[in-house]
Chain A
Amino acid sequence: EVQLVESGGGLVQPGGSLRLSCAASGFTFSSYEMNWVRQAPGKGLEWVSYISSSGSTIYYADSVKGRFTISRDNAKNSLYLQMNSLRAEDTAVYYCARGDGSPRGAFDIWGQGTMVTVSS
């Protein structure tokens, strides 16, 4: 079964750090682009970050640039998001999402999400 499972969320104080992980299974992880998408409580979906299949190309939303770092370990079938200098507005459910394998594609597989709460 194709699956993505996020972990690492939790409660953190403003200015703190957190590292999210996304474990992939059921497909050849190293062949797919990956993304992080977040959803603040009661709000819509916001794309956060992208990484190419090899890790050579990376993009960030302006709202997290300079604070968040996306990475992947293809040998471990894992995607990561290192989040530093966290702010209250970063509070959200964070989803990892797979690009559908086409050169320009939708996000076809999503994890169940992990909640990040930034509060003192």
Chain B
Amino acid sequence: AIRMTQSPSSLSASTGDRVTITCRASQGISSYLAWYQQKPGKAPKLLIYAASTLQSGVPSRFSGSGSGTDFTLTISCLQSEDFATYYCQQYYSYPPWTFGQGTKVEIK
């Protein structure tokens, strides 16, 4: 199975900050990488697929980049509603579909 490793596991930031989360795959996954946002008590929400394509309705302050094994999710100007946990997922080689362990973005 492909292992997905996110860093950091958590971070503290202020509204207006630029935030970057990284995700590394244990082997190349081309651009078959998705990012999800999950708020407490809620279901995950798809933000980005194909490493850099924004899902419909997702604000443009979210962006994704990378291919192969290294990927990043960037929030250009953090808003209060962005405080959540973010997960990456590979869908290149399955089963199993695998997720990173999550990155919790907290208020500083």
Contact = CB atoms under 8 A, between A and B. Distances in A.
Interface in A37-94: 37, 44-47, 50, 59-62
B87 interface: yes
Main secondary structure of the interface of B (DSSP, over half): loop
B44 A45 contact: yes
Interface stretch (B17-25, B65-73, B96-104): B96-104
A44 B55 contact: no
B97 A47 contact: yes
A100 to B, nearest CB: 7
Nearest to A6: B43
Interface size on B, as a range, is 20 to 34
A10 B90 CA distance: 30
A107 B33 CA distance: 11
Interface of A: 35, 37, 44-47, 50, 59-62, 95, 97, 100, 104-113
15 contacts: A44-B99, A44-B101, A45-B44, A47-B97, A50-B94, A61-B96, A95-B43, A105-B91, A106-B34, A106-B46, A106-B49, A106-B89, A107-B34, A110-B43, A112-B43
